[in-house]
Amino acid sequence: MKESMRAKLAQLSRRLTEIDAALSREDAARDMDQFRRLSRERSEIEPLVLGFHQYLAATQDLASAQQMLADPEVRALAEEEEVSARRRIVTLEEDLQRLLLPTDPNDDRNIYLEIRAGTGGDESALFAGTLLRMYMRFAERNRWQTEMISESASDLGGYKEVIVRVIGHGAYSRLKFESGVHRVQRVPETEAQGRIHTSACTVAVLPEADEINDVHIDPSEIRVDVFRASGAGGQHVNKTESAVRITHLASGIVVECQDDRSQHKNKERAMKVLAARLKESQRQAQQQQEASARRLLVGTGDRSERIRTYNFPQGRITDHRINLTLYKIDQIMDGDLDELSRALTAEHQAELLASLSEVA
C-alpha cells in the first residue's frame, strides 16, 4: 500500500474515534443539525476504517507466517498462511482503493428524468414511451416514487417530450450514466412491409437541487407565461389557465408544466425543473473546464452522444461506451437495468483509479 493511502486511512481512523467521542457525550443531541452531520460523516468513513483494520490484521498475519517459515515442523502450515494472507491483503487494498475514490456529491439525490423524441418521427415518440416504461419499471424495482412533471403526447402514442421526477435514495447514482442518445432498431407498429427502422431519443438525467435557492435565479431573468392546458384533464383544464411556461432569458432554457390543475403548483414544479437544468448546465461547464486536467469518465454525458443501441430483431442491447452487448432485451425493457448499471459503475471506478494512478 502506498504511504499516502496508508496515511489517509490512519487519519480517518483517528477521525472516527473523535466522532464517536463527540456522539457519546450527554449533550450530543442538543444540536440536532450537528448530531446529524456527525452521524452522516461516521456512516461514510466507518467502512473505510473497518477495512483498514482488517488490512492491518492481514499484514500482521503475513509477518507471523513469514516468521514461522524458519520452523521445519510448521513450514507447510506457514506457507498456506502466507498465501492466504497475501490474497487477503490484495483484496482488501483493492476494496479500500475503491472506497477512497472521490464520491459524486449528487449521488444520493432525487432526479428529473427527461426523455425527448429525436430522429424518426412517430416511431421515435413511440420509443420515448418505451424508454419511459423501462425507467418507471426500474424505479418500481427499487421502490422509488415517481411523479409526472410534464408530458407532451404524440398523435400515435408515446411522447414528444416527457419529464418525470424520480424520488429515492441513490436515484442519481444508479441512473446518471443514462444521459445521451438512445438509438432503436425495430419494425414500427405502423410499418406494413415489415421493414426495420432506426430512430432515436434523447435522455437527460438531472440531479434535483436541494432547494431552489441552491441555484441562484434572478427574477428579472425569467419570464412566466400562463396558458390553458392541452390534452387530457377534463373540462376544468381547458377552461382555466393553469399551465405554466417559464423562460430563463439568460440561458434560453424553457420549462413547461401543465400536469396539475393548480397554476401555483405547476409554477412551483416548473421552477424546480429550471433549477435542476441550470445546476446541470453549471456542472457541464465545470466539467469542460476540468477536461484538460483529467479524462472524462464513461463518456462525457453529453446529450448529443449516442450511448446505446436497442436492436429488437436481434434481441440485443449494446452500450457503446463500454462495448457491452447483452442479449436480454425483453428483461431490460422491463426495467432490469442492474447489469448495465453495475458495468457502467465499474468502468467509471476503473477510469477514476487509472486517473489517480497517473496523478500519483
* Sheet with 243-248: strands ordered across: 222-227, 243-248, 253-257
Same fold, 3-100 and 111-350: no
> Which tens digits make up the pLDDT trace of 292-338?
333 333 444 445 568 999 999 999 999 999 999 999 999 999 999 99
* Sheet with 159-167: strands ordered across: 145-153, 159-167, 111-117, 197-207, 180-186, 306-311, 316-319, 324-326
pTM: 0.65
Helix, strand, or coil here: 120? Answer: coil
Q: For residue 97, count CB atoms less than 10 angstroms from its CB and return exposed for 0-12, middle for 13-18, buried for 19 or more.
A: middle
Measured at the CA of 100, the angle between CA 345 and CA 40, to 5 degrees, comes to 95
CATH topology of domain 3-100: Methane Monooxygenase Hydroxylase; Chain G, domain 1 (1.20.58)
| Res 260 pLDDT > 50 | yes
> Which tens digits make up the pLDDT trace of 5-34?
888 899 999 999 999 999 999 888 888 888
What grid cell was written down for 355?
Answer: 486517473
Rounded to an integer, the average pLDDT of 179-206 is: 87
139, 166 Cβ separation under 8 angstroms: yes
| Res 282 pLDDT > 90 | no
What are the residue ranges spanned by the domains of the chain? 3-100, 111-350
From 180, 210, 118, select the one nearest 320 (Cα to Cα).
Answer: 180
Q: What local confidence, expressed as pLDDT, does residue 287 receive?
A: 61
> Which tens digits make up the pLDDT trace of 199-215?
999 999 988 876 545 67
CATH 3.30.70.1660 fits 111-350, yes or no: yes
The runs of H, that is alpha helices, within 69-194 are 75-100, 121-141, 171-175
Cα dist from 49 to 53, 55, 77, 215, whole Å = 6, 10, 30, 35
Cα 178 from Cα 305, distance rounded (Å): 11
> Which tens digits make up the pLDDT trace of 242-252?
888 989 988 88
Q: What local confidence, expressed as pLDDT, does residue 356 receive?
A: 63
- Reported as type and span, the H/E element at residue 337 is none
> Which tens digits make up the pLDDT trace of 29-70?
888 888 888 998 898 899 999 999 999 999 999 999 999 998
